[in-house]
């Protein structure tokens, strides 16, 4: 199968990529069938960053060439993809956006777990059930990322937030600090 993928050139910290049609079994910098454009992420002008030979790319896709994920994003953003490829790219993009939302929920739950661990270490009360609930919800949210289940991740976040609120309510109120005696009183007792 022919792939449309990027081939890295440039030097350290100055990448430059050629977009080529290459046999799938060929290594990254192997034999190229046809050069289809280039991508220069270091270019300051956004219009000059990506240069594509649109007609040649469409011809390769018509012959059955498959773009890599990165090249597929480039082609989709430029509106070069057509038909089934465009709808497949849009579906994949939607799934990736949902996964991003799920990852935000996971980060928030990780912060809650860290706060609960700190609360449990500082408190005399037993907060283990609340910490365990938050950790269980963290695992549920991580599982939701794979399936891009935003509702499940947000539900796990809500449950973890509830566990944090209950843990805060279960902590005993801090004892009032005794007031310092007047300096004069200390001198008189000596």
Check whether 176 has a pLDDT greater than 80. Answer: no
Q: Tokens 């079994």 appear where?
A: 25
Check whether 35 has a pLDDT greater than 90. Answer: yes
Domain co-membership, 106 together with 60: no
Taking the CB of residue 10, how many other CB atoms lie within 10 A of it?
12
**Token digits of residue 125:** 């009360």
Q: Is residue 6 part of a domain?
A: yes
Per-residue pLDDT at 83: 86
Domain co-membership, 162 together with 93: yes
Q: Is residue 188 part of a domain?
A: no
Q: Burial, 60: exposed, middle or buried (Cβ in 10 Å; 0-12, 13-18, 19+)?
A: buried
Per-residue pLDDT at 21: 93
Q: Is residue 81 part of a domain?
A: no
Domain co-membership, 50 together with 98: no
Per-residue pLDDT at 84: 87
Domain co-membership, 59 together with 103: no
The pTM is what? 0.63
pLDDT bin (cut points 50, 70, 90) of residue 40 is very high
Q: Is residue 177 part of a domain?
A: no
Q: Is residue 52 part of a domain?
A: yes
pLDDT (tens digit per residue) in 160-173: 999 888 888 877 76
Domain co-membership, 59 together with 94: no
Q: Is residue 175 part of a domain?
A: no
Domain co-membership, 57 together with 101: no
Using alpha carbons only, give the angle 62, 68, 72 rounded to the nearest 5 degrees: 70
Per-residue pLDDT at 125: 73
Instruction: State the total domains in the chain.
Output: 2
Per-residue pLDDT at 119: 82
Per-residue pLDDT at 127: 80
Can you tell me the distance from the alpha carbon of 156 to that of 142, in angstroms, rounded to the nearest whole number? 10
Q: Is residue 186 part of a domain?
A: no
Contact (CB, 8 A) for 134 and 113 = yes
CATH of the domain at 38: 3.30.1320.10
Average pLDDT (162-190) is 67
pLDDT (tens digit per residue) in 64-88: 999 998 999 999 988 888 888 888 8
Domain that holds residue 49: 2-68
Q: Is residue 134 part of a domain?
A: yes
Domain co-membership, 102 together with 158: yes
- Share the mean pLDDT of the chain: 86
pLDDT (tens digit per residue) in 108-127: 999 998 988 888 887 777 88
Pick the closest to residue 133 from 152, 109, 111, 153 (CA basis).
109
Q: Give me the percent of the chain exceeding a pLDDT of 90.
A: 39
Per-residue pLDDT at 3: 92
Domain co-membership, 48 together with 114: no
Per-residue pLDDT at 12: 93
Domain co-membership, 21 together with 64: yes
Domain co-membership, 64 together with 93: no
């Amino acid at each position: 199968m022919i792939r449309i993928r990027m081939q890295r050139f440039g030097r350290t910290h100055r990448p430059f990529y050629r977009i080529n049609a290459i046999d799938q079994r060929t290594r990254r910098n192997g034999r190229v069938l046809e050069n289809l454009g280039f991508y220069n992420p270091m270019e300051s002008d956004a219009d000059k960053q990506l240069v594509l030979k649109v007609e040649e790319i469409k011809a390769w896709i018509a012959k059955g060439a498959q773009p890599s994920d990165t090249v597929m994003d480039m082609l989709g953003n430029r509106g070069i993809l057509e038909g089934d490829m465009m709808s497949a790219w849009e579906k994949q993009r939607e799934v990736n956006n949902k996964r991003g939302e799920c990852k935000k929920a996971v980060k928030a739950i990780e912060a809650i777990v860290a706060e609960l661990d700190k609360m449990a270490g500082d408190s005399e009360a037993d907060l283990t059930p609340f910490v365990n609930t938050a950790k269980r919800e963290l695992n549920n949210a991580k599982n939701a990322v794979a399936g891009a289940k935003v509702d499940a991740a947000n539900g796990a976040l809500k449950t973890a937030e509830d566990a944090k609120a209950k843990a805060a309510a279960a902590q005993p109120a801090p004892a009032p600090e005794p007031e310092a005696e007047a300096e004069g009183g200390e001198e008189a007792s000596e």
